[in-house]
Amino acid sequence: MKIKETIYTTLNARDRVAATVSALARKDTEEVLRLKKSCPKKRYVANEDAYVGTMQALEKIGSFVEVDLRGLAIDYLGYSSPGTKWETDAHKTLVRSFASIREAWRRLAGELGIDFDDLQAIRGPRHDFVEQLAQSAEGRHDESQVQEYLTAMQARFA
């Protein structure tokens, strides 16, 4: 479909998208290029991507860490029924995973030059039981799990 040159400049975004999809469906690459080239241009000023991207990744990873820790805390309580000895093998496995996630988070903070206590301070309130479990799990991490979690966290920055 041929559009008059003057019409290209007056298309609103919605009509331009519809015309582009139509041209793509017809495999009319020349029309697609005309629609793209005639699209109004805007320039943006933004904060440095390395800064913004790192802050966004930290926020996301921090949220994921907290969700994982809460999930492990719920699992821990699920294995704690009346008459169950307090630390079964399942409890120990959960505590090890809990500690490994926290240790990976701590190491990532160190790699980024961020004080871990400062990073923890900005996360928002934490349920008392999750905090208690964090304290009791301190130092009980598994190095291979830490590396696995750390690698996954680092991938958010690649």
Give the chain's end-to-end CA distance (angstroms, integer): 43
In this structure, the answer to whether residues 110 and 151 fall within a common structural domain is yes
Q: Name the band, by pLDDT with cuts 50, 70 and 90, for residue 80.
A: confident
Q: What is the pLDDT of residue 125?
A: 82
43 within a domain of the structure (yes/no): no
In this structure, the answer to whether residues 107 and 129 fall within a common structural domain is yes
In the predicted model, is pLDDT for residue 24 greater than 60?
A: yes
**Best CA proximity match to 99, nearest among 59, 69, 79:** 69
In the predicted model, is pLDDT for residue 15 greater than 70?
A: yes
Q: How much is the average pLDDT of 125-143?
A: 92
Across the chain, mean pLDDT equals 90
In the predicted model, is pLDDT for residue 52 greater than 70?
A: yes
119 within a domain of the structure (yes/no): yes
CB atoms within 10 A of CB 35: 22
The domain in which residue 121 lies consists of: 49-155
The Cα 150–Cα 155 span in angstroms is 9
Domains held by the chain: number: 2
Predicted model pTM: 0.69
In this structure, the answer to whether residues 69 and 21 fall within a common structural domain is no
- The residue with tokens 């479990």 is 133
Q: What is the pLDDT of residue 79?
A: 77
In the predicted model, is pLDDT for residue 1 greater than 60?
A: no
User: What are the start-end ranges of the H helices in the chain?
Assistant: 5-10, 13-25, 29-37, 49-78, 89-111, 116-121, 128-137, 143-155
Q: Name the band, by pLDDT with cuts 50, 70 and 90, for residue 34.
A: very high
The Cα 14–Cα 22 span in angstroms is 12
- Cβ–Cβ under 8 Å, residues 104 and 149: yes
22 within a domain of the structure (yes/no): yes
In this structure, the answer to whether residues 91 and 15 fall within a common structural domain is no
In this structure, the answer to whether residues 92 and 22 fall within a common structural domain is no
In this structure, the answer to whether residues 53 and 117 fall within a common structural domain is yes
42 within a domain of the structure (yes/no): no
Of residues 151 and 82, more confidently modeled: 151
44 within a domain of the structure (yes/no): no
If you write DSSP's letter for every residue of 65-98 in order, what string do you get? HHHHHHHHHHHHHHT--TTS-SS-HHHHHHHHHH
- Cβ–Cβ under 8 Å, residues 121 and 78: no
